[in-house]
Amino acid sequence: MTTIEAVQGDITRERVDAIVNAANSSLLGGGGVDGAIHRRGGPAILEDCRKLRASHYGKGLATGRAVATTAGNLDARWVIHTVGPVYSTTEDRSGLLASCYRESLRVADELGARTVAFPAVSAGVYGWPIEDAARIAVQTVRDTETAVEEVRFVLFDERAFTAFAEQVDKPGRPG
Ligand code: ADP
């Protein structure tokens, strides 16, 4: 059983095995939570990202995929970078958003991570409505088989925290 919780705060302050980053496909840093992680984690994370780009992801990391690097100076062992989809009103991209959570947990399992902190992937610059982002995030984690013991959603602002807390407090689907 995976314990799921939602807290309000800055994900870069979390003490967990792995912190998930809402990265962009370049892996070379951006704004929002990505910028915050690189700022606090220091240059070692970007260095690892550059190496990964050169060795595996010359065209960038595809949307819905996830990959791990060192966590630099963060209080974690790894950062798992995942690329969320840009929200669209004309196309249903929720499968890609679900894939971010599933793939991040798969990478966490490969690493042997037992505690993982997630931000609200795609719910910032990528424009995903927070209630829907929270529903997909929590449902996907509930539906994913993983050895991760604790998933903590770390939400920056109160509105995001409320949306995630509501989903976490809802009883899961039976079966
Ligand atoms: P995306 O491009 O995937 O939308 P963003 O970084 O713009 O990614 O936003 C994703 C979510 O992360 C937003 O809800 C934003 O408020 C939140 N966020 C930004 N900084 C932090 C932080 N330091 N800790 C946790 N969440 C953060």
Give the max Cα distance, the chain: 45
Q: What's the 22 CA to ligand 1 centre distance in angstroms?
A: 7
Nearest CA to ligand 1 atom 26: 156
CA 114 to ligand 1 centroid distance, Å: 23
Using CB distances shorter than 6 Å, the residues near ligand 1 are 10-12, 22, 32-34, 36, 84, 119-126, 154, 156-157, 160
Tens digit of each residue's pLDDT (9 = 90 or more) over 144-161: 999 999 999 999 999 999
Tokens of 85: 């989809």
Inter-CA distances, 38 with 19, 43, 53, 153, Å: 12, 7, 16, 19
Pairing, β 78-83 against β 3-8? unpaired
Q: How far apart are CA 48 and CA 106, in angstroms?
A: 20
pLDDT for the residue 175: 56
Q: What is the pTM of this model?
A: 0.97
**ipTM of model over 0.90:** yes
Nearest CA among 47, 31, 139, 154 for reference residue 95: 139
**Position 98 pLDDT exceeds 80:** yes
The ligand 1 atom nearest the CA atom of 36: 23
The answer to whether residue 93 scores a pLDDT higher than 80 is yes
Is 80 strand, coil or helix?
strand
| Per-residue confidence (pLDDT) for residue 171, from 0 to 100 | 81
Give the torsion through C-alpha atoms of 22, 28, 31, 34, to 10 deg: 40
Where residue 92 falls among pLDDT bands split at 50, 70, 90? very high
